[in-house]
Amino acid sequence: MDFSIKTFDSKTTIAQVKTGCIIVGIFENKKLSAAAKSLDTKAAITTAINSGDVSGKAGSTLLLHAPAGVMAERVLLVGLGAEGAVTDRNFISAVQAVARTLTTLGTSDALLALPLELTVGRDSSWAIRTAVLSLRENLYRTDELKSKKDPVKGGVKKLALAVDAAGAAAAKVSIAQSVALANGMDLAKTLGNLPPNICTPTYLATTAKKLAKDFKLGIEVLDRKQLEALKMGSFLSVTNGSVEPPKFIVLKHMGGKAKAAPVVLVGKGITFDTGGISLKPGSGMDEMKYDMCGAASVLGTFLAIAEMQLKLNVIAVIPTCENMPSGSATRPGDIVTSMSGQTIEVLNTDAEGRLILCDALTYVERFKPAVVVDIATLTGACVTALGHHNSGLFTRHDDTHDALANELLAAGKNANDTAWRMPIEEVYQEQLKSNFADIANIGGPPGGSITAACFLERFTRNYTWAHLDIAGTAWKSGAAKGSTGRPVPLLTQFLMGRAQK
């Protein structure tokens, strides 16, 4: 879908616009938005509301064909809830309803004239982004590998957003940024949805190389021999049971000042997780193709910031491999040596994400980072704790890390991609004690997401760090099965905020 803006002045009114459809808002208690009032010169909208055909409840819609006094072929009324300031939830419900309706219309163009400035505590850029992402989400397809494609959705292909002339320049920037973000989310979703026989570590490396070529980014992909030379024994222990070669991807977007310390994003890239010798139950194991959604979200974020030409130095580090059972696989009870020199007793081979991440978190010290954020579908315990609404956010507790946590939480709230801060305390480290190695890779069922974060924390003490556990937010199961593209919005908003500083 192509997005643009449309401004109005004293000589041009919305009623004079020739288009296939104009979308305007109405409120509960039979109240009209300003745009709806300007179209209601012949009382067609008032008549429809008074008849009870539409309530004004958030997300309710009514399509009027050729209303008197309007040049547009149709007018779509969409409910915004109570009159006045519009809540986040109500605005999101409204634009999602618009997105569903626009794909069924027999026209290729439309004008969105919702009150973008009325959302509580938000500006028009938030409303524009929310609208663009909702419309793009409704158009996203998952039939790439079907021999018979799903029916192509028709409807609107070009959408203009009505804005004040004074805000036109800012609106154009918001649209461009929103489209870039939508493109990044689409990439993350596509990578997550691809089957593991296609989306292998090599495939992720190829995807990163394409991004580097398209946007002139720095790229380096390390293979097994190089990882062995770096003494990444923890990462390599996870790959022992698989014939697929591991890859270690380093992607660089150096859009900031030459000597500015970079933000480093570390994405877990287990392209399929059987659990290894600690084999998972067969039911639902197919969803373990999503265990690389941390890596996918980092690549999606890089596409977004590259398209935005973000003025910030950002480095992606993606350790990627499979976790498979075989005669050569790592066994429960094996002890491996990480790149940091710390030894790890592998009590459960299904706690493998932390084993690849710890070496990556040691590797990133060479970049002298401003901050490091790792993103991983790390624990089922996080799903139990937070469900599917919030990603788990973990950092140390001091002034520097509290500031980073607040920065990430605010970015998530602004991006409608929320996180919730969980504790990291020394008392939880007690659960990771081993009789035979420096550390065990699991701490038992109690506080499983916390002890997993505490494991990672031991490898990050030379820089400022945060961990996002996205096991509950990166994909959906059941009838809606598929990758969500989260937390690309949170990460992108976080980086945009950093660039603005």
List, by residue number, the catalytic residues. 280, 354
Q: What secondary structure does DSSP assign to 431-497, as a single string? A: GG--SSSSEES---STTHHHHHHHHHHTT-TTS-EEEEE-TTTSEE-GGG-EE--TTHHHHHHHHHH
Beta bridge partners of 483: 475
Instruction: Dig out the tokens for 459 from the structure.
Output: 């490898």
Dihedral angle of Cα 360, 363, 369, 371, to the nearest 10 degrees: 20
CB 115 within 8 A of CB 167: no
How far from the centroid of its chain's Cα atoms is residue 131's Cα?
Answer: 16
Q: CA 488 to CA 410: how far, in whole Å?
A: 14
Q: CA 1 to CA 135: how far, in whole Å?
A: 8
Instruction: Dig out the tokens for 48 from the structure.
Output: 């429809």
Q: CA 32 to CA 295: how far, in whole Å?
A: 46
Q: Give 21's Cβ-side CA count (13 Å radius).
A: 28
| 3-class SS string, 337-376 | ECCCCCEEECCCCCCCHHHHHHHHHHHHHHHCCCEEEEEE
CB 450 within 8 A of CB 423: yes
